[in-house]
Structure formats: C-alpha cells, structure tokens
C-alpha cells in the first residue's frame, strides 16, 4: 500500500504557530527558533498565518513580515503556504497579492466564514482570490470553523482551475475524500491530526498538522511507514502519538496548546496567545506535561527519549 507521491506542496506540512512576546508582539527570534526546530525534524512545508498561526489577530504587515522571514530563514528548504482565508473577497484578493509579493510558494484559501454563501459564491470567492495571487492553491475545507463546507461537487469543479492543486481536508468524511481523489488530480492533505493514519491509508498525499509543531519527526516516520506499506509500524507510531494528539487537539484549542508544548520543550520562550485566546491553565499544562512524557519527549533537550515499538 502506498500513498500519493509528494506534490509541489510537500508531504509533511506543519500549521506553524506564531511565537509572541508576553506583550503580544510577534517574537521574531522565536519564529527563527521554531523554524530551526521544524527544519531539523523532517518538516518540508509550513502554513504561515493559518488558524494555528492566529491569523485573525495578525495585521497585514505582520503576516507579510512572517512570510518574508520564513522564506529567508528556510532558504527554500520549506514550502511556504500563506493563509489567506477571509469572508471578504476584496480583502482576500489583497492578502493573496501581498503573500505573493512577500515570497510565498502557495496560498491556503478557505470557504468564506460566517457569511455562509452558496456553493456558487464559495467557488467564485476562491477563484478570484486564486487568480489575484497567481500561486498554486490549497483549498482548506473546514466547516467547523467556516460554518459551511466546500461540497464534493464544488471541489471537483474547482479542480479544473489550473492553480487549484490541493485540499487540506478538515471535514473528516473519508468516503467523500476518496471520492474526490478518484475524480480529480487534487493532492489531499489530512487536516485533522487525530485521523492522520486513516487519511494516509486512503491515499492522502500528506499532512498539515498542528501537533507537528512539536513532533514533525514522528509524522515523517508515519508517512514513511504508510508509503512503504508497513501498516503495523504506522499503527505503532500513531498510537504512540495519541496522548500528545489528545492533549494538543482536545484540551482547549490547537494554537494554545501547540504554543504551550513548544514552550515546555524549550523551542520558544513564551506561550503567549492573543485575545480572545487565553493561555493554558495549570490543569491543562499538567495534562500536557504528562502527554509529552508519555510520548517520549524530553522537555529539557527536546529529544525523543522513548522509541516507538511495534506491539
């Protein structure tokens, strides 16, 4: 059993957190430290200014500066996918052009949130933003956040556009994902950390993970195991990740817990998030610490201390 070969977006992508100082300013040194961590752990692409990056509270200038820093720091070792999700089509056009000018390799476009447009409205919103940016596009189908799904028929329609090349699927409907994959040449990426293995086993190209901020190396191992057809190994890796996945994705909110985990292992100096998000409580941090230990992460040296073993 194999998964789809790597696409222009990479395979082991991370929805990158945006490190911040205690006063809320973007921590540029922390961004560099996080990038070094990701580069050393098998990550080959990052989503900048996505939900995990707290895009709704970043200014246009901060987003452009983040893209420029990631592009320069990684020296093209990482694909840089810029989040340009918005419910204002005109703003989305401006965001796409700005991301292109700042050096992004691709764009991540969501359905317009809150407004709940028709499928025709969703398609037009996406197409005009894609055309404005002039870069390859990964669609982000996340109805839990946008309030409306990109339906399968719309995905098939959009796949005919020359710039629309991939889907980050956070819908969780594996049958629909397989159906769209069979009907199009879209590269599919799992956008639900808890379902990484099922998506890969169904033919997804790769992952866009939140927990990957901490353990991208484990996800690289998972992808490699599925690609080689070693599902026993893949199951072992996925099961070993369950405590951390649960702590990051099912405690409060992914951006909050990803930053808390990165601070606990010393990658960034502070776990500050911008309001309306709130930092982790003592109870949440205790749960996170237990999960890091159970996953085999040494909180002092950032190293994996406990290898994944087959049951």
pLDDT per position as a tens digit, 63-119: 999 999 999 998 889 999 999 999 999 999 999 999 999 999 999 999 999 999 999
Distance CA 78, CA 80 (A): 6
Count the neighbouring beta carbons within 10 Å of the beta carbon of residue 95. Answer: 26
pLDDT per position as a tens digit, 107-161: 999 999 999 999 999 999 999 999 999 999 999 999 999 999 999 999 999 999 9
Of 173-182, 268-277, 293-302, the range with the lowest mean pLDDT is: 293-302
231-249 and 282-295 helices, crossing angle to 10°: 170
Closest CA to 237 of 215, 256, 255: 215
Annotated catalytic residue 171? no
The CA distances from residue 307 to 218, 233, 265, in Å, are 10, 12, 18
Structure tokens at 123: 């398609």
Distance CA 245, CA 163 (A): 32
Distance CA 37, CA 43 (A): 9
Closest CA to 214 of 169, 170, 248, 252: 248
At residue 197, does pLDDT exceed 50?
yes
pLDDT per position as a tens digit, 175-185: 999 999 999 99
Annotated catalytic residue 168? yes
Q: Positive or negative, the Cα torsion across 160, 162, 163, 168?
A: positive
At residue 1, does pLDDT exceed 60?
no
Residue 303 banded pLDDT, cuts 50, 70, 90: very low
Q: What share of the chain is helix, strand, coil (3-state, %, to 5)?
A: 50, 15, 40
Give DSSP secondary structure letters for 114-126.
TT---HHHHHHHH
Which of these is catalytic: 91, 113, 168, 259? Answer: 168
Residue 298 banded pLDDT, cuts 50, 70, 90: low
Contacts of 154 (CB under 8 A, 6+ apart): 119, 122, 123
pLDDT over 70, % of the chain: 94
pLDDT at site 76: 87
Closest CA to 66 of 6, 269, 78, 252: 78
Distance CA 149, CA 253 (A): 21
Task: For residue 97, say if its preceding peptide bond is cis, omega within 30 degrees of 0.
Answer: no
Which of these is catalytic: 140, 188, 189, 219? Answer: 140
Could you give the domains of the chain?
12-228 (3.20.20.70)
Distance CA 206, CA 159 (A): 18
């Amino acid at each position: 059993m194999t998964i789809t070969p790597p696409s222009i977006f990479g395979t082991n992508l991370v929805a990158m957190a945006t490190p911040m100082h205690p006063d809320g300013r973007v921590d540029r040194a922390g961004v560099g430290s996080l990038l070094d961590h990701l580069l050393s752990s098998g990550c080959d692409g990052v989503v900048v200014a996505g939900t995990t990056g707290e895009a709704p509270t970043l200014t246009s200038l901060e987003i452009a500066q983040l893209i420029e820093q990631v592009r320069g720091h990684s020296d093209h070792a990482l694909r840089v996918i810029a989040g340009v999700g918005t419910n204002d089509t005109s703003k989305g056009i401006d965001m796409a052009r700005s991301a292109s000018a700042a050096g992004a390799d691709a764009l991540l476009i969501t359905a317009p949130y809150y407004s709940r447009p028709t499928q025709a409205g969703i398609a037009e919103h996406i197409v005009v933003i894609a055309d404005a940016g002039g870069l390859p596009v990964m669609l982000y189908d996340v109805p839990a956040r946008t309030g409306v799904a990109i339906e399968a028929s719309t995905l098939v329609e959009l796949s005919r556009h020359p710039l629309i090349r991939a889907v980050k699927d956070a819908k969780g409907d594996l049958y629909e994902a397989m159906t769209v994959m069979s009907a199009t040449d879209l590269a599919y990426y799992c956008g639900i950390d808890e379902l990484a293995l099922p998506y890969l086993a169904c033919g997804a190209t790769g992952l866009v993970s939140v927990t990957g901020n901490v353990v991208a190396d484990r996800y690289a191992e998972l992808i490699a195991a599925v690609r080689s057809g070693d599902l026993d190994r893949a199951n072992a890796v996925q099961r070993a990740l369950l405590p951390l996945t649960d702590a990051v994705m099912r405690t409060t909110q992914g951006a909050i817990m990803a930053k808390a985990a990165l601070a606990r292992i010393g990658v960034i100096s502070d776990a500050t998030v911008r309001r309306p998000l709130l930092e982790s409580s003592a109870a949440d941090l205790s749960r996170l610490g237990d999960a890091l230990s159970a996953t085999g992460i040494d909180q002092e040296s950032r190293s994996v201390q406990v290898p994944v073993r087959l049951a």
